[in-house]
Amino acid sequence: MLRVYFLAQWFNLSDPAVEEALYDMLSMRAFARIDLGGIVPSPTWRDSRSKLVHSIVATAANVHDGAVLADLLHGEETRVYGDCAYLGKGDVIREKSPRARAFINKRAYRSHPLTDQDRETNRRKSSVRARAEHIFGTVKGYFGVLFALSNLFMVKKRLLSMSTG
């Protein structure tokens, strides 16, 4: 996981972007020592008001986030915010959380770019998601430091012997 964190930092990738890069680039998978058949932490679902995580699902790296949406919803949601990975999941949202309204970002296509109004709507939706996801950035930063420190602790003797030898 530390190697994935480094890739995200070095290439300035968001969590979904680093996940996509790991699917697409053999060199990144090799560096991160990830086998696509392995289980990796995947999507989380959190309350945008309280910022509390109420669901997390671990999946194989080749499972798309949208495939586990039903497992992330508890049924009491009134609003569901998501990036464009959740486009076309309205049926799942209505079935699992019938009172919820879906606020999923629109996706631009080469032949159909987003209008100014669509971009503004996506920006408003993303600002709500960003407030809930802020805590994950904080935790990720702490874990990055903790992972780095734990790795240094594990190789401390080897590093000390190299400096004295």
Please, which pLDDT band fits residue 24 given cuts at 50, 70 and 90?
A: confident
Per-residue model confidence (pLDDT) at position 63: 82
Q: Are residues 23 and 89 in the same domain?
A: no
Q: Are residues 25 and 82 in the same domain?
A: no
Per-residue model confidence (pLDDT) at position 54: 73
Per-residue model confidence (pLDDT) at position 40: 47
Asked, for residue 141, whether it belongs to a domain, the answer is yes
Asked, for residue 19, whether it belongs to a domain, the answer is yes
pLDDT, the chain, mean: 80
Q: Are residues 29 and 61 in the same domain?
A: no
Count how many domains the chain has.
2
The domain in which residue 108 lies consists of 40-156
Asked, for residue 163, whether it belongs to a domain, the answer is no
pLDDT cut 90: percent of the chain above it = 26
Distance between CA 29 and CA 19 in Å, rounded? 10
Per-residue model confidence (pLDDT) at position 102: 93
Q: Are residues 69 and 53 in the same domain?
A: yes
Residue 2, token pair as written in the block: 């530390």
